[in-house]
Chain A
Amino acid sequence: MKRTTRNRLVAYSFLLPNFIGFLVFTLIPVLAALGLSFVKWDSYSPMQFVGLRNFQIMLKDSSFKIAFWNTLYFTGLTVPLTIVVSLMLALALNKGLRSVKIFRAIHFFPHVASTIAVAVVWQFLYHPDMGPLNQFLRMIGITDPPRWTASTTWAMPAVIIMSVWKSAGYYMVMFLAGLQGIPPHLYEVATIDGATVWQKFRYVTLPLLTPTLFFVLTMNLIYSFKVFDQIYIMTQGGPGRATMVLVYYIYMQAFINQNFGYASAMAAVFFLMILGVTIFQFRLQEKWVTYLD
């Protein structure tokens, strides 16, 4: 055996355990799901090949359309809001003081708490009549506050607000790390040149924070597309279908209605959607992300 071949085999043997795990737990299930999207199957009776029928159903299914738009609605609001809030928190808390550290911990806390528990608590906060939130709104003079999770108009914003609150602390930590990676001498130079606080933010902080911003944007987008827990606990997709999102609808079709084929087909479309957005982002990255060499 040639020396290079042997070296290669040794290298592969080290990779093998991990690769088997990937194969068994990720690749095969994903491919199986893709295969399932062409069949009609209730997990019990024999599978029935139906070609593209599941995808045709999707085009006619009003619940799928609603879930699709709701997912975009959720993502479209959650992502920018989370980024703005977490960046503002990071900027405010980017100091070494002890008291500041306590605030950082407080803001990080929602991320540590389980989504299920947090969603249950928010459900009470949002109660239309007895919830603390509306009691407060009435106290400050809003006589007819939103009915939050009981209203088709406000249910989605309610879930969005809770989600932003939940994840802002986590992304704040990312931004803090990014901010601390900016070399202090750049600020010194800017100060000597007479730059204002805004100019320093606009021309030093922001450009050098773009790699973090890019990372946060990508992660946050994917997480928002996948939203499920909050919906499952707080609204079950309701009232009506006002908060029906794709993952919840896929779950419902698969495990409640036992339409595994149709659910897999939607999952495949969902996967392509996320893949597309992510590729688009990476393409766009070259245009706006600055890396400091």
Chain B
Amino acid sequence: MRKYGLGLFTAVLLIALVVAPMAQAQVTLKFACWDYELNQYDKKLIEEFERLNPDIKVEVYDMPASEYPDKMLIMLAGGEDIDVFYAKDPTMYGGLVLRQQIRPLDDLIARDNVDLLGYGGNLENVRVDGTVYGLPYRGDFWILFYNKDLFDRFGVPYPTNDMTWDEFRETAKLLTSGEGADKTYGTYIHTWASTYFVYGLQKHMGDLVEGPYEMLRDGLELAYQIQMVDKSAADYATNRAMGAHYRGLFEQGNIGMLYMGTWYMQALLHDAEQGLHNVRWGIARLPQWEGLPHATIGNVTPVVINSKTKHLEEAWRLVKFLSGPEGASILAENMIVPGYFDDSVFDTFAQVEGFPSENMDALVTETVYMEWPAHPLSGLLGRMVEEEIVLAMTGNKSIDQAIADMEVRREEIILLNQ
């Protein structure tokens, strides 16, 4: 016993000597994101970061995706000391910049010589008045998903990368048939406002803060015709009242085409892995307007640092990891389009099992417009545009009237928020 005693004592002392300073030096960072447990890829990122940085412990605040922006704003307003978090959309990002809740990163980028080339056009979308306040962690954009089984069943050729919206509408009609449980729909138009205004932004007429709302007319008309006249998609009111979700609907296998963001690729693969669906899916570029150059709509997710952080150096290391090449490769393995995008991302995608690698071209983009610019009024205008779109899509107002009212209400919002 005595013999062991001395050895044990020495061992404990040694461990204490080694561990104690480490424990002391370990910094705890508070990090907020959405659906951490549900989606798993953020978890993989954080675990890898902790492995590479043993001196930093990351405490995760996990929130449901739909509540994330509101909850985050309330937490920040309440003085919660979150160090690093994602700005889920440009509206949230713009607000954070406006209120100086996040720290400009230009000095740190210059000091550490961060390679910005990999961000491509995404960088422009995190720059506000010339200053970068966050680095792009994800760089999603809208594409067209389709159900190959359904196209095969109706003998309709698969959508191509140069499909126009008129062709989209005609194809949707061909895929619509049946009643009750056998009912198939050509497409599904999700209940977000963005699903109804992506077509407008493709008109190259500017953004929804400063551009004319006239740009929305053809798109709203298209959505209205598809839902109310062709009936090749369920209408807005039905979807809204049922709390419909594109994920479940497309995976049931009776929706032919779904235009949605690239974020859905990961969910499709994940759900197939879980045995939730066996849809054979393909992707194509977002359909375009006849005679106009192609454009898609993007949504960059920046990772940002709370301007009140007490652990700036550690927070900055986490930001660099999440938005840099290391983070990008983990994201790509999980079928997420990273903000840092190079050829290795395509290579990684091609190796992911279940990914339709023959459709890889669908992910090549030329022009990517943002859903909303990082502008102080994006939030208020976004709500207003959504209200008017809903009125037009539920038949409470004509499309012309809704567009006219949007213009009037924009003037009012600008006037009241000078």
Contact = CB atoms under 8 A, between A and B. Distances in A.
B391 A240 contact: yes
A57 interface: yes
Contact of A57 (B236, B396, B397, B416): B416
Contact of B100 (A45, A126, A130, A242): A45
Interface stretch (B70-78, B103-111, B297-305, B346-354): B70-78
A44 B394 contact: no
A128 interface: yes
A128 B237 contact: yes
A44 B240 CA distance: 34
Contacts of B380: 257
Interface in B373-397: 379-380, 383, 387-388, 390-391, 394, 396-397
Contacts of A212: none
A44 B415 contact: no
B288 to A, nearest CB: 30
A129 interface: yes
A128 B394 CA distance: 11
Contact of A239 (B70, B76, B383, B396): B396
A256 B379 contact: yes
B238 A240 contact: no
A61 to B, nearest CB: 6
B77 A44 contact: yes
A238 B387 contact: yes
Contact of B412 (A44, A62, A129): A62
Given A62-B409, A238-B387, A241-B387, A151 B416 contact: no
A150 interface: yes
Contacts of B70: 255-256
B409 to A, nearest CB: 7
Interface in A55-82: 57, 60-62
Contacts of B101: 44
Interface in A97-135: 123-124, 126-131
Contacts of B397: 152, 240
A32 to B, nearest CB: 15
A141 B387 CA distance: 33
A43 interface: yes
Contacts of A230: none
A200 interface: no
A256 B76 CA distance: 13
A241 to B, nearest CB: 6
Nearest to B392: A240
A220 interface: no
B13 to A, nearest CB: 49
Interface string A23-50: 0000000000000000000111100000
B52 interface: no
A257 B409 CA distance: 16
Interface in A180-197: none
B99 A42 contact: yes
Contacts of A94: none
A255 B73 CA distance: 8
A258 B100 CA distance: 13
Contacts of B73: 255-256, 258
Interface in B87-119: 95, 98-101
A86 interface: no
Contacts of B242: 127, 130
Nearest to B307: A44
Contact of A147 (B98, B237, B387, B391): B237
A256 B70 CA distance: 6
B241 interface: yes
Interface string A225-263: 000000000000011111000000000100111100000
Interface residues of B, number: 30
Interface string B105-144: 0000000000000000000000000000000000000000
Given A128-B241, A150-B240, A44 B409 contact: no
A149 interface: yes
Contacts of A130: 238, 241-242
Nearest to B77: A43
Contact of B76 (A44, A127, A240, A257): A44
Contact of B396 (A42, A123, A240, A258): A240
Contact of A257 (B237, B240, B379, B388): B379
Given A127-B241, A128-B237, A128-B241, A152 B391 contact: yes
A145 to B, nearest CB: 13
Contacts of B391: 152, 239-240
Contacts of A256: 70, 73, 379, 383
A180 to B, nearest CB: 43
Interface in B230-287: 236-238, 240-242
B238 to A, nearest CB: 6
Contacts of A123: 241
Given A44-B76, A44-B77, A258-B73, A131 B394 contact: no
Contact of A131 (B241, B379, B409): B241
Contact of A255 (B74, B238, B415): B74
Most chain A CB atoms below 10 A, which of B101, B238, B241, B387: B241
A60 B416 CA distance: 8
B241 A258 contact: no
Contacts of A152: 391, 396-397
Contact of B390 (A60, A240, A252, A257): A240
A252 B73 CA distance: 13
A258 B237 contact: no
B209 to A, nearest CB: 15
Given A130-B242, A240-B391, 7 more contacts: A44-B101, A57-B416, A61-B412, A62-B409, A127-B241, A239-B390, A258-B95
Interface of A: 42-45, 57, 60-62, 123-124, 126-131, 147, 149-152, 238-242, 252, 255-258
10 contacts: A43-B77, A43-B99, A44-B77, A44-B100, A60-B412, A129-B238, A131-B241, A147-B237, A238-B390, A239-B391
In the A-B complex, the 7 residue pairs with the smallest Cβ-Cβ separation, listed nearest first, are A150-B237, A43-B77, A240-B391, A127-B241, A44-B99, A152-B396, A240-B387
